[in-house]
């Protein structure tokens, strides 16, 4: 697949309680897979499993998104008490729903997620916010549609991030984690703008790590130390997977030891966050130029997670897609990627932390100006790939429960 570039300078894209053990388990980016493979997978998994919530009777054959043949609405979000549909700029929210119950809404049969106990707190995450970016859809050497706003108008990262911040502030989370690619070019001006928008609105609740876009020129002004945030019912650990001057990532022994030490003995579930996604240890190929965490570092990361049952999931950005994978060594533990803020679908993630489990709830930024831009970006990469299927993923890649491994 050709190198993908998505910026003007041409960088690559593609009070706590003890954890209950009695709740049942759920069933079950740039990955260089063909667009047809991504589309087939999305169609196969559209709506997720009944146990995971979000079952649909009407999968959209073109995108893998459940849709109503009558209304044309796309099912985008399922929570324990809420279901959200989109059709262009039209947003329909169904709230106050019973958890773990099948509902027929907008012509679609959908099962809400379970509510595993008492709700202790909410956490939000974003990634790939790209302050300073001016155009997207450029692939070096390939003719594809390029998307930009007209000269003299507000850059699209401004409207997308403003929408994300407004929506996140509305749920009053105890913590907000920004998982890298804060900037497009890693400049001081772009970083300061990120701090103004996110820090200004969210204050000390906001924690961030860098991504590859923030260190392409070897910049060291952005934080590179790992971060621990203890919230009611969970421990959040952020690791820095960025390797300066590289699109791919890695982890050194010091960070892996830090992760091991901070996960060990936790009485609450541990969620681990990083910018890059890991290489799959079962992969038939082993490339040192892997777009995510390099194979050696990935194997060591999986080893740490496998021996620490306190860890219940790893959550990345970087690939601009929604995806969940499972590795043999870690069983049902989800290795998650969440799509970007800056273009289609315009994503952020809410984590509802209960005393018996955690829910990931994907949110599509739904302010009018954000939807105007993200709908435009459905056509990214033209005929080269089905970007909607790639970026949105299946419902089970976006909204799902996370269970204890103990």
- pLDDT tens digits, 124-172: 999 999 999 999 988 777 788 889 888 888 999 999 999 999 999 999 9
- Please list the residues that pair with 95 across neighbouring strands: 82
Give the predicted TM-score (pTM) of the model. 0.85
Is residue 72 predicted with pLDDT exceeding 90?
Answer: no
Please return the burial class of 379, using the count of CB atoms within 10 Å of its CB with bins 0-12, 13-18 and 19+: middle
> pLDDT exceeding 90 applies to what percent of the chain?
76
Phi, psi angles (nearest 5°) of residue 196: -60, -45
Residue 41: pLDDT above 70? Answer: no
* pLDDT for the residue 71: 66
Q: For residue range 251-295, what is the model confidence (pLDDT) as tens digits?
A: 999 999 999 999 999 999 999 999 999 999 999 999 989 999 999
Q: Are 336 and 312 in contact (CB under 8 A)?
A: no
Q: Do 114 and 401 meet the contact criterion of CB atoms below 8 Å apart?
A: yes
Q: Model confidence over 348-358: pLDDT tens digits?
A: 999 999 999 99
Q: Strands 270-273 and 234-238: what pairing? A: parallel
Question: Residue 150's pLDDT is what?
Answer: 83
**Higher model confidence: residue 297 or residue 68?**
297
Tell me the CATH number for domain 119-133+152-374+397-402.
Answer: 3.60.21.10
Q: Which residue has the higher pLDDT, 45 or 104?
A: 104
Under 8 Å between Cβ of 262 and 269:
no
DSSP line for 284-337:
S---TT-SSB-HHHHHHHHHHHHH-TTEEEEEE-SSSS-EEE--GGGTT--EEE
Polymer length of the chain: 406
Report how far Cα 338 is from the mean position of its chain's Cα atoms: 1
Q: How confident is the model at residue 339 (pLDDT cuts 50, 70, 90)?
A: very high
Please state the rounded mean pLDDT for residues 102-119: 97
CA–CA distance, 336 with 65 (Å, rounded to integer): 19
pLDDT for 23 equals 33
Residue 70 above 50 pLDDT? yes
**Which carries the bigger pLDDT value, residue 52 or residue 144?**
144
Tell me how far apart the alpha carbons of residues 115 and 34 are, in angstroms, rounded to a whole number. Answer: 37
Q: Which residue has the tokens 């667009």?
A: 35
> Positive or negative CA dihedral for 312, 317, 321, 325?
negative
Distance CA 260, CA 302 (A): 11
Stretch 47-61: mean pLDDT: 36
pLDDT at 13: 36
Whether 113 and 400 have beta carbons less than 8 Å apart is answered as yes
Name the β-bridge partners of 59: 66
The per-residue pLDDT for range 160-210, each reduced to its tens digit, is 999 999 999 999 999 999 999 999 999 999 999 999 999 999 999 999 999
Instruction: Give the mean pLDDT of 4-30.
Output: 34
Per-residue pLDDT at 65: 60
Give the CB-side neighbour count of residue 391, counting CA atoms within 13 A: 26
Residue 68: what pLDDT?
56
């Amino acid at each position: 697949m050709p190198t993908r570039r998505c910026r003007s300078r041409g960088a690559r894209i593609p009070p706590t309680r003890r954890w209950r053990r009695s709740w049942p388990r759920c069933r079950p980016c740039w990955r260089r897979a063909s667009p047809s493979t991504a589309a087939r997978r999305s169609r196969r998994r559209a709506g997720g499993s009944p146990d995971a919530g979000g079952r649909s009777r009407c999968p959209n054959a073109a995108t893998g998104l459940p849709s109503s043949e009558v209304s044309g609405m796309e099912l985008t979000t399922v929570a324990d008490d809420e279901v959200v549909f989109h059709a262009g700029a039209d947003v329909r929210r169904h709230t106050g729903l019973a958890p773990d119950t099948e509902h027929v809404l907008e012509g679609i049969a959908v099962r809400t997620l379970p509510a595993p106990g008492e709700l202790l707190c909410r956490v939000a995450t974003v990634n790939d916010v790209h302050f300073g970016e001016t155009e997207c859809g450029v692939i070096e050497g390939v003719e594809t549609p390029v998307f930009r706003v007209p000269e003299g108008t507000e850059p699209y990262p401004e409207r997308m991030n403003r929408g994300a911040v407004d929506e996140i502030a509305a749920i009053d989370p105890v913590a907000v984690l920004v998982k890298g690619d804060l900037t497009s070019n890693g400049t001081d001006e772009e970083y300061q703008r990120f701090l103004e928008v996110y820090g200004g609105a969210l204050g000390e609740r906001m924690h961030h790590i860098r991504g590859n876009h923030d260190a392409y020129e070897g910049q060291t002004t952005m934080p590179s130390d790992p971060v621990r945030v203890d919230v009611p019912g969970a421990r959040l650990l952020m690791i820095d997977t960025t390797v300066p001057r590289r699109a791919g990532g890695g982890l050194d022994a010091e960070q892996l030891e830090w992760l091991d030490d901070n996960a060990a003995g936790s009485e609450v579930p541990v969620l681990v966050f990083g910018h890059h996604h890991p290489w799959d240890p079962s992969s038939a190929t082993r490339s040192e130029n892997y777009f995510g965490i390099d194979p050696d570092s990935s194997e060591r990361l999986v080893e740490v997670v496998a021996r620490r049952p306190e860890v219940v999931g790893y959550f990345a950005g970087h690939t601009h897609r929604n995806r969940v994978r499972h590795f043999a060594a870690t069983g049902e533990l989800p290795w998650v990627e969440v799509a970007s803020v800056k273009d289609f679908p315009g994503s952020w993630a809410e984590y509802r932390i209960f005393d018996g489990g955690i829910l990931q709830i994907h949110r599509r930024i739904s302010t009018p100006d954000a939807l105007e831009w993200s709908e435009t970006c459905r056509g990214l990469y033209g005929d080269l790939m089905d970007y909607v299927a790639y970026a949105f993923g299946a419902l089970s890649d976006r909204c799902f429960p996370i269970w204890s491994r103990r």
